[in-house]
Amino acid sequence: MNLLPFHITAMSIAFASMVVAICIAHWSKKNKRWLKAHKTLNIISVVSLIIGFTLAFIMVQSTGGPHFRVDHGIIGGMALLLSLCVLYLGFAIFKSKDKHETASLKKAHRWAGRADLLMLIFAILEGLDLAGIL
């Protein structure tokens, strides 16, 4: 069974949810429910990334591997790890009791989140190149 379409679908959902979540945090903070939407969409994004990664892993394994042999896989894998860190930082903002620590966590979360989105864009471009679409 060809898992590639499922890999692409899961990663597209992950990317689209993250873009919308970040746009909400940037432009819709006046809306009372922005944080709930940002959190929910980003959790959907990270879950989809994990599913997409698992599908890619099985796909590569079934062809005999090795894993992470192409730039696409390396960048994609790093983007997933960064997403987990950004998610952690997001929750840590609300655990922190110290004003200065909270401000640093927010800054780290904002910039790591933007870097994460950029990495996903590179992973997608490399993936499209790999599949011969670009």
> Would you tell me which residues interact with ligand HEM (CB under 6 A)?
4, 7-8, 11, 14-15, 18, 22, 25-26, 35, 38-39, 42, 46, 52-53, 56-57, 59-60, 63, 67-70, 72-73, 76-77, 79, 83, 86-87, 90-91, 93-94, 106, 109-110, 113-114, 116, 120, 123-124, 127-128, 130-131, 133
DSSP string across 53-102: HHHHHHHHHHTT--TT-SHHHHHHHHHHHHHHHHHHHHHHHHH---HHHH
Pick the closest to residue 4 from 123, 131, 111 (CA basis): 131
Least distance (Å) from ligand HEM to the CB of residue 67? Answer: 4
Are the C-beta atoms of residues 69 and 77 closer than 8 Å to each other? no
Pick 20 or 70: Cβ nearer ligand HEM: 70
Least distance (Å) from ligand HEM to the CB of residue 98? Answer: 16
Are the C-beta atoms of residues 48 and 17 closer than 8 Å to each other? yes
Pick 20 or 39: Cβ nearer ligand HEM: 39
